[in-house]
Structure 1
Amino acid sequence: MYSYSDPNIQQKVNLEENYNNEGRKCLESFLPAEILESVFEHTHMMVAYLDTDFNLMRVNRAYAEADDHLPSFFVGRNYFDLYPNESNRIIFENVVKNCKPYFATEKLFEYADSPENRTRYLDCSLIPLEENAGNVSGLFLTMQDVTERAKINQSLIESEQKFRNIFKLSPEAVVLLDKTGMVVDVNHRVHDWLGYESSEFNGKRLLELPCFDDKTKTLILEMFCRRMKGEKVGSYEISFIRRDGSTFVGLVSASAIQGSDDMLYDLVLISDVTLLKEQQNALLEAKMAAEAANRSKSEFLANVSHELRTPLNSIIGFSDAMLEGYTGDLKGKQAKYLNNISTSGKNLLNLINNVLDLSKIEAGKMDFHSESFPVADIFRILENMFLPMTSSKNISLQFNCTPSSLAIHADFSKLEEILINLLSNAVKFTPENGAIEVSARSTESGIQFSVKDTGIGIPVDKLDLIFEPFKQVECFHKREHSGTGLGLCLVRKFIKMHDGELSVKSKEGEGSEFCFVIPDLGC
């Protein structure tokens, strides 16, 4: 039916008295026969009595039920006819020969008829019953099913082996401490990174380890104590000292764990982040250098722009004065040439002003003056400014303010420039007989402005490009319209100065709508 395997652990089983059918008188001198009989039949252990030829003379109820038979089935049958196994036969023969008991813990039994379903582990003992002068008259066999305990133990062994493999093969340095702060074990990475042998760590307490300076020891001891108290401690960086005196930065991640022995341990993982720190420092230095260069560029542009504006204002002022006849009548092509000078000068001045504004913003020197005013005030200025341009192209221009008394707390000049830039683009890219609508309304998040046109629109894949400085959608517009590419860049930056958000919706050939919300800074 089933067979024994070789024992792996020896365990002494204390049996107060040997029992056999022929020697009851010995036991009955201590206990009544009725009590002995009751113990034999009702114990949860499987018990059998065998003669020296290994014939089963008697088995108890637990033994029979474990094999799905009645006790009478076993009486007179040879044990090894029922359970053939040569290694177990040798064990039985040695017990008889040497008159010494045999004990085994968690011995594996597999049933021959269905091993996949009937495998179990037993604690067993085989006790020789002495008749006289060392002669054995029989064998007393006891067995107890410990399958569940064996499975739990096996799971613990497997779990511990997995932990051991992870411990040994981890790419990180691993240190295991007991609850007193003494090093229990370290993996090979400690030697690879620090140069110390494991024997120089094992058995030493945290403060005795040679890889820390005094300041670091104070920190790691504090963190260890907090973990042992049950606190969650995040990762932290410390400096480690190698055997050769060099140092490296390590990222320490640790947590308290419960061992298989129910003791509390501290599992410490150490990652070498020296290279990462060097890269981070290099990136930081590069970022600071780039920001310094950008500030220098902005300051240079601001200075150059300022120096250019003075002569340009003179050129524009004198050319306009001559066009208005203050220097006398113009002859031939003089008016045309002077008009070109004035127009080009104004375009260049506009470019310089935009560059100067952009440089001030990037250098953090742009002034910001917040005040309360009616939105309708700006709309009137815009209407007077753009009505002549839209009328020349027969473009419908409408301004809507909801409610009409709507007021806002913002920088007047910045908001005016935002709307001028958006309206300029709308007029520029809207063909004749089109329409432009400028609106403002109050929302929960602030004042929402919208500039909507029926112009040529913007391709979807170019929407992000239009906000970059000096960038225009050249392949689409084919540079048929003049511009520096700074207008929308400044629009977005001025809106951000108000803590606002800008969005755009556009469909090629149908028009565009630019919306932005400015929080009411007066709230």
Structure 2
Amino acid sequence: MEYTHGDIQGVQEGIIVADTSGKVEYVNSKVCEMLLFSRDQLVEQPVTDIVYDRTFRQEWDHLVRALESGESVERPEIRLVCKNGAFVQVNMTCTLMKNPARGENWIVFYLIDISKEISTTKELERRNRELTRENSKLVKESTNFRRISELKTKFLGIASHELKTPLTSIKGYSELLIDNMSDELTPQVEKMLRRIKKAADKLHNVINDMLDVSRIEQNRLRLKPETVDLEKILRDAIQDLGHFIGKRNIGVEVDIESALPDYYGDEIRLHQVFTNLMSNAIKYSPDHTVVTCSIAVRDGAFHICIKDEGIGIDESEYDKIFTPFYEVSHAANHCSSHVKYMGGGTGLGLSIVKGIIQRHGGEIWVESNGTKRESCAQGSEFNIQLPLDSQIPWDDDETRMMHLNSIMNQPIISSGKYGVLPHDRDDSTESEAKKQKILIIDDDAETIEICRVLLEEQYTLLTCATGEIGLRMAFENNPDLILLNIYLPGLAGDLTCRILKSQGETKKIPVAFFSAATQDNEIEQAYASGGDDFIIKPFNNAELIDKVRGLLNPQGAFFKGES
């Protein structure tokens, strides 16, 4: 090949022309730009001084012979020395060309600057390494978070179970004293007992809230949907809060669209939503203000709005208030008339409300004018949107069975004095042999004692603390009813029930489980093992008596008023 200076001057790549001895004869402007030398400073210099590569200098003769034999030589990622001592990385291609003026062979080096490309690649590699490290860190943190979340959920379950067990005794004994021994109590003692019961009920609600939060976080909140009247649920919630509304002199305005269609949802959970939102509106509003509630149909959905004239919510807290254990930061600034009023609470209510609404396929959001320290009348507006054509499935057959059983066992009239069952009561002395027998298998002595106080006047009670002993007593005594704790030392309650239901002599004996129902699968586990009912601790005394009566006399439970 032949060349002229004009051929190489305008080329975009860097070009160095050298003779076969390695002396530079010519460089184009691109090379000068890359190396920061002038052309005069490079011409006549050995090309091996420009190329910073020991093997290049050592293999020069081999390179010349290869080119003279017609080969083209490529050297990737070669470093060239700049005037300032820095290096430029290039991909270098070497070819042989003939100089027509002198009739001799010259070597042409085509140089493509890859410094920026390499720099970019290295930067990408560096960032990739950083991202890899960050990703590893996030994976580790995520694993730790999941572990902590699992531990938290486990703790909530264990703590709730351990709290519910003593609550059974506290509620049971306080109800027993108030309802059965009120004539023997001084007014001061009765007042203290009612406060104890009220505190126990409040703690029971907190425990249930903790369990609801745990279920929502695990996407295990179970619903029992049915056709419901949203207006009725709202008005029932308002009526339940009537005492607090009257105490604060707060007005409640209800605006319901006429001919409002029915909704398909869980009535108990929706009542929980309305009660929570109304309770918050009352707590965080000044006295003598108004809370407005409205339900209407807009754009194919139910639109529910609870609006107050309270302390307001800052925009920065719109999302935070729906997270568990979070409370509005400025609640301490709230003033209600002339009395300082702190809303207070566990910070679980709104997170539960959001979980329930989302479980129904809806959404909830808040709007507010913000907060001002000098004013208590900014107000907040909680909006709920629920699909008009709701299609919420039953979660499982066990949940449906539990719901149906709760309906079937609902008494027509409630019990009288605890320990006295009206339909069984006989003024004459009843022989022990004619009493129906109830076997109670529970390792909690307090639960057994409460059952004894409530039931032993009407029934013969047999008690034990383990499933193994319970099985032997069931086979020997053939009881009419078995009350069984699902958690027992040794043989578990559900396995005990399976054995009882598998044997001819005991399979027809009704079995009701005792449990705090803190784990999501407890109720399903109880029914799957053959259980006939489920009594959640802490139970109230009337509930226990009604359950026992319904299980021992399922037909008579519906006709007690006809005697």
User: Under TM normalisation by the shorter chain, which class is it?
Assistant: 0.3 to 0.5
Decide which structure has greater strand share. 1
Q: Which has the higher contact order (CA 8 A, sep 6+)?
A: 2
Q: Normalising by the residue count of structure 1, what TM-score does the alignment of the two structures yield?
A: 0.48
Q: Normalising by the residue count of structure 2, what TM-score does the alignment of the two structures yield?
A: 0.45
Q: Which has the larger radius of gyration?
A: 1
